[in-house]
């Protein structure tokens, strides 16, 4: 199911969701500007980490104001939820404050964002299925930019500890730096 730019996301019966969120999304006017959307299955672990890390790296480089950055889910299970507490702790441990309510990918995202990065092959497959004919977004794995050659950013959701979140953070840091090295002159 797709939602418009400012949609009321009703609470799903997921255990950690306990509110309704009104989310007005700031979008770029076209996909020709610098814009990136990070996507994973639920938008509570990997894609929020990727969004937060990318914003942090772009800010350190002095280019954050040139970018529209967001994250979203392919599924609707966690719409309106905060990121996983382990993801937030990982970010906080690295000095990154982050607030986000999970949202699902919209039809407009495929024209509002120049780059849409999935975290794994399932995300990419789903994004390509959802992509409308008028899509102008470049859909690719974020891990494609990992200098260590790890193209998949593994989902740490079912992990017992925090190591998977730390691994996702480190990989997103490498990918963010490599991607910005490539696209920012």
Q: Which residues are annotated as catalytic?
A: 40, 46, 155
d(CA 71, CA 36): 8
Residue 139 β-bridge partners: 116
Q: Which of 101, 107, 2, 8 is nearest to 51 (CA)?
A: 101
Q: Are strands 21-24 and 6-9 parallel, antiparallel or unpaired?
A: antiparallel
Burial class (CB in 10 A: 0-12, 13-18, 19+), 112: buried
d(CA 35, CA 20): 27
SS3 44: coil
Other C-beta atoms closer than 10 Å to the C-beta of 36 total: 26
d(CA 45, CA 131): 23
- First-last CA distance in the chain: 38
């Amino acid at each position: 199911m797709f939602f418009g730019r400012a949609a009321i996301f009703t609470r799903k019966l997921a255990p950690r969701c306990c509110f309704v969120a009104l989310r007005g999304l700031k979008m770029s006017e076209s996909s020709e500007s610098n814009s990136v959307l990070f996507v994973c299955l639920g938008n509570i672990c990997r894609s929020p980490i990727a969004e937060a890390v990318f914003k942090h790296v772009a800010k350190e480089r002095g280019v954050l104001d040139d970018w529209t950055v967001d994250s979203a889910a392919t599924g609707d299970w966690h719409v309106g939820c905060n990121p996983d507490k382990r993801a937030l702790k990982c970010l906080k441990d690295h000095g990154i404050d982050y607030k986000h309510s999970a949202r699902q990918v919209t039809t407009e995202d495929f024209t509002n964002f120049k780059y849409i990065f999935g975290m794994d092959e399932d995300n990419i497959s789903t994004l390509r299925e959802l992509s409308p004919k008028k899509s102008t977004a470049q859909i690719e794995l974020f891990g494609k930019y990992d200098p260590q050659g790890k193209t998949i950013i593994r989902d740490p959701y079912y992990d017992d500890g925090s190591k998977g979140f730390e691994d996702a953070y480190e990989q997103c840091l490498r990918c963010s730096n490599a991607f910005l090295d490539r696209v920012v002159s």
